Structure 1
């Protein structure tokens, strides 16, 4: 680890726990900081806080008392999910206390170069493919961190200079960086999302763009060349720009030409040999190839990964074929675009399960993509909004309480050859702690369907 002396004897407040907060608090304690943890969940219901207390870390639970900030803290490490309008954050700003997220801490101590991957959609798939390609080149060359794998600070603590950290990064995390500078930054795409948190699309885009703000000519920025907004923004970066495009024969970066996957003028392999389906996944694949080539992964190693990689759990994941009905778990589809992409990948009749957290948006953009949807089953806070769009598109709509109730109803309305797709177009937090929990509820409900009864 590098730069560890800067934390010794510093008074640090870790605000909000979850996995990243626990990791940050434990690391700072090891580095000799005087750590206080504050989490809203009551101590009796908070095993993470109980574990930190056993390490000798001061723990305050049950609320976020603003007077706590009068104790002379020199740094606040904020959970990414806590909004900047929170009174604790506002007071810390007023007191001019530096506020960072855990990924900044990870960067400051990491001996390993970081590959930071962000975007509205495709982050997890791209990060996973990059990770697999690097490890295909050299076992344990890459460590997963950020929104997948382990918290960044936990991984950075053990990473060595001859490894890479493949780090999936959200806009929430990027808002809390100060010196963070990935060796390679990737922006898969940018669409409207998280407006409930960022308030405006402009602020959301600014948060994503921060991934490159500390880069120099010695770092790389891999960016989606099909998006005019991103292409124009690259004029303002100091990094070396590597474009990718599934639709344009660029002649540079990663692209497709005559059925070949290309990197500059080099043929990497045939597109038809790639196992992962879907046009949206081609973006992820090209971005991953660009990163792999920068890291000197061979074409043979790249193609071996692409010929065998089946996808990531909860991302248009095939679950089961039951009496001719194919079930797909796309719980990670937390916005309209992701659901549009999922629906575009099927040409058979679809029974769509959708709904979730209401972020104040409408779902009319989903309507043109419902042409193959025969039945729409809606749930959660947005059930009525999504259902309205389905009815206007002439789709048979049913409303249920949650995913568990949706599955048997979907089966009841299905017939052999149908696709039963969970692709909510919404975040899960109105009913489920994470999209993974929602996806597992879907898969568990499928297992409860009777195997022995055919319709």
Structure 2
């Protein structure tokens, strides 16, 4: 048997190892012959029989049994199109793995909150199910959790990007989850409608007898609710909905969602239609801030309940869970100003939610790679806050500035050429007792390898502030940036950023 892996990042390498363990003669292809791949050629050669780096792999097609796509590889990629035209089976890395996993599987998607909720759901399930693999779009490929072709875990919780969903064809999850939907990745999908449909398609991947969880406080999701109800009925699975703090429940939704979770003074109450059954989970000792994180907790609780966990087990998981790196992560304090690393804020809705999590004087550092967002929601959120300053950087700096001015925002706006300069400016703008929030609202590709590198450099800069004099000189901060880059280990993530 012969297989070809498209895309040789972390997931591609892990998929190659799995295919080799499964008995395939495995080849690898990547259209970019970049320095990182060339530096890793010895590692790649240990896994792949043949390598095609920016060279045509069509010579394999005459005797190719399987093509596997790394996350982020578009189905319109040339070799993928030619493989399908030739009748060659094409699978995403996720489906290659999920079809070989016999234990319960939970899949989680959404525009924002995926990684936090994936890690949180894993923490809850570990309290009742033992060894749980938390993997997928969180930077830990599913294929990397196999050993000698076997999956030695009691449960799989997988973060799924829209790109991964686009090449997933089978109903393989016991629980699926769509946390929210706001416009994103318009550079790939063209329209918001197409992006939303990519997300909504995920409920089709719920196995019969399973549970699909949706956010009924999300306006975009509500627009698809009749369709979701029909999919649940035809697919033989339960549709469950949750409503976050300050959002009203429409009783008419109960005819579509047979299970609902609402936040009350008692806690997270879960009701089941047609029964008197009500359970209450108390999340009051949570360690992750913000109303959006309460919604993430509610979604995780519905997943835990669907998987048979007790209230006590779920509360244990909630109370012990800490913030995930690069998601509203405390990065330190200097001269009475606290710094928050939200580098995973890669779209404007994520940054809006981050702004809502803090009170008092705040300086926002934002800007980055342009994915086609208009930034009107972000500008409105900034304009509604008092005592807020903004430092902009990257490709979208002027675009965000224009939206801020159009929104009526009258506070200070500074333009930075580098992240180190942005931190220097933010320090000058933020009073003692205030917050510097690094939540770019954009992808990282214009200035950094990925959001992880961006976040780690930010944290390194903040950590080194206290070792510098208080002059705030640009030269000193630039020296910190150079030092930070030398200390950061570059890691490859999937492309839903």
Instruction: Tell me the TM-score normalised to structure 1 length.
Output: 0.91
Distance change >3 Å, CA 209–CA 164, structure 1 → 2: same
Deviation at 1:103, TM superposition (A): 0.1
Deviation at 1:158, TM superposition (A): 4.2
Q: Does 1:342 align with 2:330?
A: no
Of 146, 157, 161, which residue of structure 1 is paired with 2:136? 146
Q: Counterpart in 1 of 2:425?
A: 409
Counterpart-to-counterpart distance in 2, 1:21 and 1:153: 9
Q: Does 1:323 align with 2:335?
A: yes
Counterpart-to-counterpart distance in 1, 2:139 and 2:74: 24
Of 203, 220, 232, which residue of structure 1 is paired with 2:194? 203
Of 395, 399, 402, which residue of structure 2 is paired with 1:385? 399
Of 420, 443, 446, which residue of structure 1 is paired with 2:436? 420
The answer to whether the Cα contact below 8 Å between 1:181 and 1:212 also exists between their aligned partners in 2 is: no
Q: Counterpart in 1 of 2:50?
A: 58
Q: Write out per-residue CA displacement over residues 268-306 of structure 1, whole angstroms, 9 at most, x where no aligned residue.
A: 344543332211111101000001111222211211222
Q: Counterpart in 2 of 1:257?
A: 264
Residues 79-158 of structure 1: matches in 2 within 5 Å?
A: 79-140=70-131, 142-148=132-138, 150-156=140-146, 157-158=149-150
Residues 206-285 of structure 1: matches in 2 within 5 Å?
A: 206-227=197-218, 228-237=222-231, 238=235, 239-246=237-244, 247-248=247-248, 252-264=259-271, 265-285=277-297
User: What are structure 2's unaligned runs of at least 5 residues?
Assistant: 272-276, 472-497
Counterpart-to-counterpart distance in 2, 1:306 and 1:274: 6
Q: Write out per-residue CA displacement over residues 13-50 of structure 1, whole angstroms, 9 at most, x where no aligned residue.
A: 11111111011111111211122101134376424443
Q: Counterpart in 2 of 1:429?
A: 445
Deviation at 1:174, TM superposition (A): 0.8
Larger relative contact order (C-alpha < 8 A, sep ≥ 6)? 2
Q: Does 1:312 align with 2:302?
A: no
Counterpart-to-counterpart distance in 2, 1:187 and 1:56: 36
Deviation at 1:90, TM superposition (A): 2.7
- Kindly tell me the number of residue pairs found equivalent between the two proteins: 443
User: What are structure 1's unaligned runs of at least 5 residues?
Assistant: 1-8
The answer to whether the Cα contact below 8 Å between 1:259 and 1:271 also exists between their aligned partners in 2 is: no
Deviation at 1:59, TM superposition (A): 1.1
Counterpart-to-counterpart distance in 1, 2:22 and 2:394: 44
Deviation at 1:373, TM superposition (A): 5.4
Deviation at 1:106, TM superposition (A): 0.6
Q: Write out per-residue CA displacement over residues 79-137 of structure 1, whole angstroms, 9 at most, x where no aligned residue.
A: 23223333223322332333221001011211222111011111111111110011122
Of 4, 10, 27, which residue of structure 2 is paired with 1:19? 10
Distance change >3 Å, CA 221–CA 15, structure 1 → 2: same
The answer to whether the Cα contact below 8 Å between 1:276 and 1:310 also exists between their aligned partners in 2 is: yes
**3-state secondary structure, aligned to 1:301:** helix
Q: Which piece of structure 1 moves more, 119-128 or 196-205? A: 196-205
Distance change >3 Å, CA 321–CA 31, structure 1 → 2: same
**3-state secondary structure, aligned to 1:273:** coil
Counterpart-to-counterpart distance in 2, 1:259 and 1:400: 47
Counterpart-to-counterpart distance in 1, 2:207 and 2:11: 28
Counterpart-to-counterpart distance in 2, 1:68 and 1:378: 48
Counterpart-to-counterpart distance in 2, 1:187 and 1:311: 20
Deviation at 1:209, TM superposition (A): 2.5
**3-state secondary structure, aligned to 2:115:** helix
The answer to whether the Cα contact below 8 Å between 1:43 and 1:50 also exists between their aligned partners in 2 is: no
Distance change >3 Å, CA 248–CA 375, structure 1 → 2: closer
Distance change >3 Å, CA 204–CA 98, structure 1 → 2: farther
Q: Which piece of structure 1 moves more, 341-350 or 236-245? A: 236-245
Q: Counterpart in 2 of 1:5?
A: none
Deviation at 1:64, TM superposition (A): 4.5
Counterpart-to-counterpart distance in 2, 1:391 and 1:199: 26
The answer to whether the Cα contact below 8 Å between 2:366 and 2:393 also exists between their aligned partners in 1 is: yes
**3-state secondary structure, aligned to 1:425:** coil
Q: Counterpart in 2 of 1:441?
A: 457
Q: Which piece of structure 1 moves more, 405-414 or 163-172? A: 405-414
The answer to whether the Cα contact below 8 Å between 2:27 and 2:48 also exists between their aligned partners in 1 is: no
Of 148, 155, 161, which residue of structure 2 is paired with 1:164? 155
Counterpart-to-counterpart distance in 2, 1:441 and 1:165: 31
